[in-house]
Amino acid sequence: MMNNSFGKVRVRFAPSPTGGLHLGGVRTVLYNYLFAKKHGGEFILRIEDTDQTRFVEGAEQYIYDCLNWCGLEPDESTIKPGEYGPYRQSERKAMYREYAEKLIKDGHAYYAFDTSEELEQMRNDFKTEENPSPQYDARIRARMKNSLTISAEEVEKLLQAGTRHVIRIKMPENEIITFNDLIHHEVSFESNVVDDKVLLKADGMPTYHLAVVVDDYLMKITHAFRGEEWLSSAPVHIMLWKYLFGLNKMPEWAHLPLILGPNGKLNKRDGAKYGFPVYAMNWTDPRNNEFTEGFKEKGFLPEAFINLLAMLGWNSGTEKEIFSMEEMIENFSIERVHKSGAKFDYEKAKWFNQEWIKISTSDYLFPLVSELLKNKGVDIHDDDFLKKIIDLVKERCVLISDFYEQAVYFFQSPEKLDLDAIKPKWNEAKTSFFESFCNNINEISWTTAEIETVFKNLATEMNIKPGELQLPMRIMLVGGKFGPAVFEIAHLIGKEETILRIKNALTLLNS
Q: Is 317 in the site for RNA (CB under 7 A)?
A: yes
State which of residues 11, 72, 104, 166 lies at the interface with RNA (CB under 7 A). Answer: 166
Name the minimum Å distance from CB 343 to RNA: 3
Residues numbered 238 to 257 that lie near RNA (CB under 7 A) are 257
Is there binding between residue 273 and RNA (CB under 7 A)? Answer: no
Residue whose CB is less far from RNA, 6 or 163? 163
Residue ranges in 80-109 that form contacts with RNA under rule CB under 7 A:
none
DSSP state of 247: G
- Is the Cβ of residue 102 or residue 338 nearer to RNA in the bound state? 338
Specify the residue, 198 or 365, whose C-beta has the smaller distance to RNA.
Answer: 198
- Interface residue with RNA, options 100, 104, 240, 258 (CB under 7 A): 258
Contact call for residue 230 and RNA (CB under 7 A)? yes
Q: Is 148 in the site for RNA (CB under 7 A)?
A: no
Q: Are 312 and 259 in contact (CB under 8 A)?
A: yes
Complex with RNA: residue 3 or 52, whichever CB lies closer: 52
Question: Could you tell me if 144 and 112 are in contact, meaning their C-beta atoms sit under 8 angstroms apart?
Answer: yes
Q: Which of residues 435-464 bind RNA (CB under 7 A)?
A: none
Residue of 128, 132, 29 lying closest to 73 (CA atoms): 29
Whole-number Cα distances in Å, 53 to 168, 203, 205, 448: 20, 11, 12, 66
In the range 186-225, which residues lie near RNA by CB under 7 A? 187-190, 193, 195, 198, 201-203, 205, 207-208
**Given candidates 73, 345, 383, 496, which one binds RNA under the rule CB under 7 A?**
345
Strand partners, 294: 279
**For RNA, which stretch binds (CB under 7 A), given 46-54, 73-81, 146-154, 294-302?**
46-54
Strand partners for 166? 112
Give exposure, 340-376, as e/b (b: 16+ Cβ within 10 Å).
ebbebeeeebbebbbbbbeebebeebbebbbebbeee
Using CB under 7 A, which of 124, 133, 151, 174 touches RNA?
133
Contact 183, 339 (CB under 8 A): yes
User: Is 495 in the active site?
Assistant: no
**Segment 48 to 87, residues that bind RNA, using CB under 7 A:** 48, 50-51, 53-54
Alpha-carbon dihedral of residues 215, 216, 220, 225, nearest 10 degrees? Answer: 150
Residue 139 interacts with RNA (CB under 7 A)? no
State the Cα–Cα distance between residues 417 and 229, nearest whole angstrom: 53
Which member of 145, 197, 268, 394 is catalytic?
Answer: 268
Phi, psi dihedrals of residue 279, rounded to the nearest 5°? -95, 160
Question: How many amino acids of this chain bind RNA (CB under 7 A)?
Answer: 86
For residue 429, state whether it binds RNA (rule: CB under 7 A): no
Q: By CB under 7 A, what part of segment 376-415 binds RNA? A: 395-396
Which of 471, 497, 499, 504 binds RNA (CB under 7 A)? It is: 471
Tell whether residue 470 is a contact of RNA (CB under 7 A).
Answer: yes
To RNA, the closest distance from the beta carbon of 501 in angstroms equals: 16
- In this chain, which of 338, 374, 376, 423 binds RNA, going by CB under 7 A? 338
Residues with Cβ < 8 Å from 96, sequence gap 6 or more?
Answer: 200, 205, 206, 210, 211, 214
Q: Rounded to the nearest 5 degrees, what angle is found at the Cα of 344, between the Cα atoms of 1 and 273?
A: 145
> Cβ 284 to RNA, closest distance in Å?
20
SS3 492: helix
Task: Quote the least distance from Cβ 452 to RNA, whole Å.
Answer: 10
Task: Confirm or reject binding of residue 231 to RNA (CB under 7 A).
Answer: yes
The residue among 6 and 93 lying less far from RNA, judged by its C-beta, is 93
Q: Specify the pairing of strand 264-265 against strand 259-261.
A: antiparallel
Enumerate the β-bridge partners of residue 175.
Answer: none
- The minimum distance between CB 7 and RNA, in angstroms, equals 26
Measure the CA–CA gap between 443 and 455, rounded to whole angstroms: 13
CA 130, 132, 133, 136 torsion: positive or negative? positive
Residues 169-188 touching RNA, rule: CB under 7 A, are 184-185, 187-188
Question: Contact 338/313 with Cβ under 8 angstroms?
Answer: yes
Q: How far is the CB of 229 from RNA (least distance, A)?
A: 4
Contacting RNA (CB under 7 A), which of 8, 336, 376, 425? 336
Active site residues: 268
